[in-house]
Amino acid sequence: MEKLIIFSGVIVLVGLFSREVRVASAVWQRAHATFYGGSDASGTMGGACGYGNLYTDGYGIKTAALSTALFNDGKACGGCYQIVCDATQVPQWCLKGTSITITATNFCPPNYALPSDNGGWCNPPRPHFDMSQPAFEMIAKYKAGIVPILYRKVGCKRSGGIRFSINGRDYFELVLISNVGGAGDISRVWIKGSKMSNWESMSRNWGVNWQSLSYFNGQSLSFRLQLSNGNIRTAYNVAPSTWTFGQSFISNVQF
């Protein structure tokens, strides 16, 4: 499989032949991975990030729920991680020469009734990925149940533009933002109505749901996003002035 070089506690993975990330070497971190959601990943729909149908939203089966240490109160939602089964520790369970890039779409809650090394895998401060079953089976054997892994945060590649789903009610716009490329995880959002002169900062309600308490009815809506790496994109007039609550709009903007 991959050749692992260890010096001063830093792990460098050399020659990983993933098509998703073309990097000769990079720093990786250690964690563990389990799986949930069934063989078709149907049990992974929805979740603590607020996404709906992960199939139609473009995330598919390559997703994972993150432990408290990684989830960061929802700030990690939408971020992408490259994961490799650590064959230096469990060669009998790893699928040789494989890696996968997953999107963080859910939260793996701690189980304080069990020890962190025997069932309480998502207990703090343990970094842990509870992957969809199909994703897990791309890097390890089903019978393993849990495997040590190496992981690193990577960029997300998305097809099409960023999606904005507008929910809530008058004076409470709750906007779910999905299909975000680049760093993937959103740090700030602004909204602007066509009758406004200034951008208004939105606040994170939960996961990838951002809220505004202003009245935007009858105005076309524009959005500005800043990701965790500082990159900013602006999607002008995404929703027409005739928008209504419950509608989704796809922009022509992507990171």
CATH code reported for the domain at 163-250: 2.60.40.760
Task: Give the C-alpha separation, 73 to 35, whole Å.
Answer: 21
Cα dihedral 52, 58, 60, 65 sign: negative
Q: Name the 3-class secondary structure at 192.
A: strand
pTM of the model: 0.88
Cα 26 from chain centre: 20
Whole-angstrom Cα Rg for the chain: 20
Answer with the residue of higher pLDDT: 22 or 86: 86
Residue with tokens 């929703």: 239
- Looking at the chain, the domain(s) classified CATH 2.60.40.760 span 163-250
Residues of the chain with CATH 2.40.40.10: 29-154
User: What DSSP character marks residue 188?
Assistant: E
In percent, the amount of the chain with pLDDT more than 90 equals 87
| Residue 27 pLDDT | 86
Q: What is the CATH number of domain 29-154?
A: 2.40.40.10
**What is the enclosing helix (H) or strand (E) of 134?**
helix 133-136
For 44-73, how does the pLDDT look when each residue is reduced to its tens digit (9 = 90+)?
999 999 999 998 888 999 999 999 999 999
Bridge-based pairing state of the strands 80-85 and 3-7: unpaired
pLDDT at residue 136 above 80?
Answer: yes
Looking up tokens 């089966």 gives 61
Please choose, from the candidates 46, 44, 26, 27, the residue with its C-alpha nearest in 3D space to the C-alpha of residue 35: 44
Give the pLDDT score at 181. 97
